[in-house]
C-alpha cells in the first residue's frame, strides 16, 4: 500500500471495502496468471477441468481472474476474501448473466472472528455476487476462525473441488 514494498497479489489503496480498486495492478496480475492457465491448456487440460482459488488477496485475485477473464473454469473459491464495494467483478458477472454466458460455481468461506478481513465484508461480497447473477454460489462461515484456515474448511474445499472435477474414466485402449 502507498508504494511500500511487499509480496502481495496486487496493490490496494487501503484494506477497506470502500476504497477504489487498483485495477492497473489487478489487471497486470491477471495477465501474468493467464499465462499459467494457457500453459495448462497447452498441456491438454481444458478450462472446464480447472478450479481457481485463493486465500485473502489470493481469493480476490481468483474472483477477478475467473469472473472477468476465464468464466469457463469449473469453479472459483475465495477463502477469507472480499471485493471492494464497486468492484468491476460485479459488473462482469452482471454482463455475463445478462447475455446468458456461463459463470463458474463459487465457494466462499470466511472465519466469523476474522479481524483483518471482516466477516461482513466476505458475506457482502458473496451477496453482491449472487445479486449480480452468480447463482451457483455458496458462502460458509466458520465460528471462532480468525484470518486463517481450519481443517473443516479444508475438508469442505476438498469435497467441493472433487465435486467440480470428478475423476475421468480411464482412457480406452486403441
Q: Which active-site residues does the annotation give?
A: 56, 114, 147
Place of cell 491438454: 44
Alpha-helical (H) ranges within the chain are 23-42, 57-64, 88-98, 119-132, 151-164
Residues 6+ apart with CB under 8 A from 160: 75, 77, 107, 138
SS3 assignment, position 154: helix
Strand partners, 55: 79
Strand partners, 137: 106
Q: Which residues contact 167 (CB under 8 A, 6 or more apart)?
A: none
Q: Which of 75, 77, 74 is nearest to 60 (CA)?
A: 77
- Euclidean distance between CA atoms 102 and 119, whole angstroms: 28
Amino acid at each position: 500500500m502507498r508504494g511500500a514494498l511487499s509480496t502481495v497479489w496486487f496493490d490496494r489503496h487501503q484494506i477497506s471495502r470502500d476504497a477504489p480498486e487498483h485495477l492497473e495492478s489487478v489487471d497486470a496480475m491477471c495477465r501474468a496468471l493467464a499465462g499459467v492457465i494457457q500453459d495448462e491448456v497447452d498441456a491438454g487440460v481444458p478450462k472446464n477441468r480447472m478450479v481457481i482459488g485463493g486465500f485473502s488477496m489470493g481469493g480476490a485475485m481468483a474472483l477477478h481472474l475467473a469472473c472477468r477473464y476465464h468464466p469457463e473454469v469449473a469453479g472459483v473459491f475465495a477463502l477469507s476474501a472480499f471485493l471492494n464495494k464497486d468492484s468491476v467483478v460485479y459488473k462482469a458477472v452482471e454482463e455475463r448473466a445478462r447475455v446468458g454466458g456461463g459463470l463458474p460455481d463459487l465457494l466462499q468461506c470466511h472465519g466469523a472472528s476474522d479481524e483483518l478481513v471482516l466477516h461482513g465484508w466476505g458475506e457482502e461480497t458473496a451477496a453482491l455476487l449472487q445479486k449480480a447473477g452468480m447463482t451457483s454460489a455458496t458462502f460458509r462461515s466458520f465460528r471462532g476462525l480468525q484470518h486463517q484456515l481450519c481443517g473443516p474448511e479444508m475438508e469442505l474445499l476438498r469435497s467441493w473441488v472433487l465435486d467440480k472435477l470428478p475423476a475421468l474414466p480411464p482412457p480406452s485402449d486403441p
